[in-house]
Amino acid sequence: MHDSNQNTVLQSEAEARELGSFELKLLASINKLRDRAWGSNLQADLSQIVGRDVAIGQLYLALSKLEKKGMISADKKDPEPVRGGRSKKVYRLETPGAKALARTVDFLNAPSVLRPQENKHGEFAH
């Protein structure tokens, strides 16, 4: 691997560790919706996940950040006659985004995360 490519990969991995809760939920939603991961579908899915209405501005800001970090990419989908001829952007996970999501899922499923830790006296940490 060339130095510049290696630096890009390392930078992407470091950025993945700095993702917020909303961004991780957005990655999960994109992964779940696959070829239906466009604005309105993502907004509806995320609103259900977080238990409140997600503002479209918040969604597109997060999508833009994830795209700049190389976590996701977007392609224009051909217009559908039923939508009045408008095209839409369909988002998909890129390798760094998929890895960040997988690492988070692995972490959350780790027994040490789910089980309280005892100290040497058999007491649970506060």
The Cα 113–Cα 8 span in angstroms is 30
Find out whether 49 and 42 touch, Cβ atoms under 8 Å.
no
The Cα 89–Cα 36 span in angstroms is 10
pLDDT in tens, 71-107: 999 999 877 776 666 788 999 999 999 999 998 888 7
Token pair, residue 54, equals 């997600």
pLDDT confidence bin for 111, thresholds 50/70/90: confident
Find out whether 69 and 12 touch, Cβ atoms under 8 Å.
yes
pLDDT in tens, 11-43: 545 555 678 899 999 999 999 999 999 999 999
Closest C-alpha among 105, 104, 79, 75 to residue 92: 75
3-state DSSP: the chain helix, strand, coil percent, rounded to 5?
Answer: 60, 10, 30
The model scores a pTM over 0.75: no
Residue ranges covered by each domain of the chain: 16-70
